C-alpha cells in the first residue's frame, strides 16, 4: 500500500510508560507515520504530569522517543485567549529553545472566558447556566499577538508554524470570518462520520482499510458544511481523534498531510534528496574504484589480497 504521510498529536494525559515502544513506533512508521506533535505548553504553564509522585517531562520524552525511531517531532501550544499573549509565549518559547522541534503550532480550541465555569460545565454542575465565551475581538487580537511573537522564532529556527482549529471555530467564535488565516493553508480538524467500532483497529490490515475508506483521495473541504469562508485548501487534515492502533489501549488524534514526500520535505524546510548518480555517468577512474569495492566485498580476491579482474 502506498501510504499517505500521517501525523499524530499527544499531550501529557496520553502518557503511559511504554506508550511508544520502539516496536510500536517502527510499526507506525511502516504504515505512514512521519510526525508526532506534542503539547509543550498551555496558557500560562508547561505540559507534563506527575506519576508516582515524580514530575514526568512528557514533551521531552515524546520527542526523544520519536526521534530515536527516525521520525519528526513537533510542539504545539494550547492558546488561551484569557491570558496575555506575551505571558503564553514565554512558556512556549522556552520549550522551543530546549527541545528544538521540527515544527510548531498553535491549537485554537478554547472559546470559554472562565475556567471555573468550564470545569463546572464538564462536571455537569452548572445547573443549566451558560459558560461565558470570549468575544471574537478578544480571540482574534490574542491570535494576532501570538502570531507576531511566534513567527520570528519559527523563522529563526527555519521551521514551519501552523494554526490548528476545528472547522467551526473561526465561524462560531471568530466573529463569522476566517480571521485565523495567517498560517494559510490551515491544519483543519474535520471528522467524517464513521461507526465508532471502525475506529478500533485490532490489526494493521484494518487500519489500512480505514485509511482507504476515510481519507485517501478525499478532502476535508467536502466533509463539512462548516468549513470557514475563504478556506480553499489545507495543509493537514485531522480526520479522527479516537483511533486505536493495533497493540494500543489509548485513543489517538490522527492527521494526514496534503501532499507527497517532496512537499512534506519542503514544508519542513528540508533539502530535497540528492539525485541518483548512475554507474555509466561516472568517470573511468571512479568506475574502477566502484568495481574494486564490489569485488572485494564479494571476496573475489587472490591469495595476496589482489582483486581478480
pLDDT tens-digit map of 50-75 = 888 888 899 999 999 999 999 999 99
- Evaluate if residue 121 carries a pLDDT over 50: yes
253 and 127 share a domain?
Answer: yes
Q: Is residue 225 part of a domain?
A: yes
Over residues 95-120, mean pLDDT: 93
Neighbours of 25 (CB within 10 A): 19
59 and 201 share a domain?
Answer: yes
Count of domains in the chain? Answer: 2
Q: Is residue 56 part of a domain?
A: yes
Over residues 69-89, mean pLDDT: 96
132 and 70 share a domain?
Answer: yes
Q: Is residue 1 part of a domain?
A: no
Query: How far is Cα 101 from Cα 38, in angstroms, rounded to an integer?
Result: 10
Over residues 248-252, mean pLDDT: 77
285 and 148 share a domain?
Answer: no
225 and 202 share a domain?
Answer: yes
- Evaluate if residue 307 carries a pLDDT over 50: no
DSSP string, 124-153: T-STTPPPPBPPHHHHHHHHHHHHHHHHHH
| Cα angle 62-66-70, degrees, rounded to a multiple of 5 | 165
- What phi and psi values does residue 8 have, to the nearest 5 degrees? -135, 150
300 and 227 share a domain?
Answer: no
Q: Is residue 117 part of a domain?
A: yes
217 and 300 share a domain?
Answer: no
Share of the chain above pLDDT 70, in %: 81
DSSP assignment, residue 284? H
Please check whether residue 181 is in contact with residue 230, taking contact to mean a CB–CB distance below 8 angstroms: yes
Q: Is the peptide bond before 192 cis (omega within 30 degrees of 0)?
A: no
Nearest residue to 253 (alpha-carbon basis) of 105, 43, 151: 105
150 and 257 share a domain?
Answer: yes
Distances (CA, A) of 246 to 100, 115, 258: 30, 36, 25
291 and 223 share a domain?
Answer: no
State the pLDDT at residue 52: 83
Query: How far is Cα 195 from Cα 210, in angstroms, rounded to an integer?
Result: 11
- Evaluate if residue 308 carries a pLDDT over 60: no
Q: What is the CATH number of the domain that holds 243?
A: 3.20.20.80
115 and 203 share a domain?
Answer: yes
State the pLDDT at residue 129: 75
Query: How far is Cα 122 from Cα 120, in angstroms, rounded to an integer?
Result: 5
Higher pLDDT, 167 or 55: 55
Q: Is residue 308 part of a domain?
A: yes
Q: Is residue 110 part of a domain?
A: yes
Confidence label for 12 from pLDDT (cuts 50, 70 and 90): confident
15 and 46 share a domain?
Answer: yes
Q: Is residue 249 part of a domain?
A: yes
DSSP assignment, residue 244? B
Q: Is residue 28 part of a domain?
A: yes
Structural domain for 262, as ranges: 6-267
Query: How far is Cα 115 from Cα 211, in angstroms, rounded to an integer?
Result: 37
Higher pLDDT, 183 or 286: 286
Neighbours of 126 (CB within 10 A): 14
172 and 238 share a domain?
Answer: yes
Confidence label for 178 from pLDDT (cuts 50, 70 and 90): very low
3-state secondary structure of 253: strand
Range picked from 11-15, 70-74, 173-177, 229-233 for highest mean pLDDT: 70-74
Amino acid at each position: 500500500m502506498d501510504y499517505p504521510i500521517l501525523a499524530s498529536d499527544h499531550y501529557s494525559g496520553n502518557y503511559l510508560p511504554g506508550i511508544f515502544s520502539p516496536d510500536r513506533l517502527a510499526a507506525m512508521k511502516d504504515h505512514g507515520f512521519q510526525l508526532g506533535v506534542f503539547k509543550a505548553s498551555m496558557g500560562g504553564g508547561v505540559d507534563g504530569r506527575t506519576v508516582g509522585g515524580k514530575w514526568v517531562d512528557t514533551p521531552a520524552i515524546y520527542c526523544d522517543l520519536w526521534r530515536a525511531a527516525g521520525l519528526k517531532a513537533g510542539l504545539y501550544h494550547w492558546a488561551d485567549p484569557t491570558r496575555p499573549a506575551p505571558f503564553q509565549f514565554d512558556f512556549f518559547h522556552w520549550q522551543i529553545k530546549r527541545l528544538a522541534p521540527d515544527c510548531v503550532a498553535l491549537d485554537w480550541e478554547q472559546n470559554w472566558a472562565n475556567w471555573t465555569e468550564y470545569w463546572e460545565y464538564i462536571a455537569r454542575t452548572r445547573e443549566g447556566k451558560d459558560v461565558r465565551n470570549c468575544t471574537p475581538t478578544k480571540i482574534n487580537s490574542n491570535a494576532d499577538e501570538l502570531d507576531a511573537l511566534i513567527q520570528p522564532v519559527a523563522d529563526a529556527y527555519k521551521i514551519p508554524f501552523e494554526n490548528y482549529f476545528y472547522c467551526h471555530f473561526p465561524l462560531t467564535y471568530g466573529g463569522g470570518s476566517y480571521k485565523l488565516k495567517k498560517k494559510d493553508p490551515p491544519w483543519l480538524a474535520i471528522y467524517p462520520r464513521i461507526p465508532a467500532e471502525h475506529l478500533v483497529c485490532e490489526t494493521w490490515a484494518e487500519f489500512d482499510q480505514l485509511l482507504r475508506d476515510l481519507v485517501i483521495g478525499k478532502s476535508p473541504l467536502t466533509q463539512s458544511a462548516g468549513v470557514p469562508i475563504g478556506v480553499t485548501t489545507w495543509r493537514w487534515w485531522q480526520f479522527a481523534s479516537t483511533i486505536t492502533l493495533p497493540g494500543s489501549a489509548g485513543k489517538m488524534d490522527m492527521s494526514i498531510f496534503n501532499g507527497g514526500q517532496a512537499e512534506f520535505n519542503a514544508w519542513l524546510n528540508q533539502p530535497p534528496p540528492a539525485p541518483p548518480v548512475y554507474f555509466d555517468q561516472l568517470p573511468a577512474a571512479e568506475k574502477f574504484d566502484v568495481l574494486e569495492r564490489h569485488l572485494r566485498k564479494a571476496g573475489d580476491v587472490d591469495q595476496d589480497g589482489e582483486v581478480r579482474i
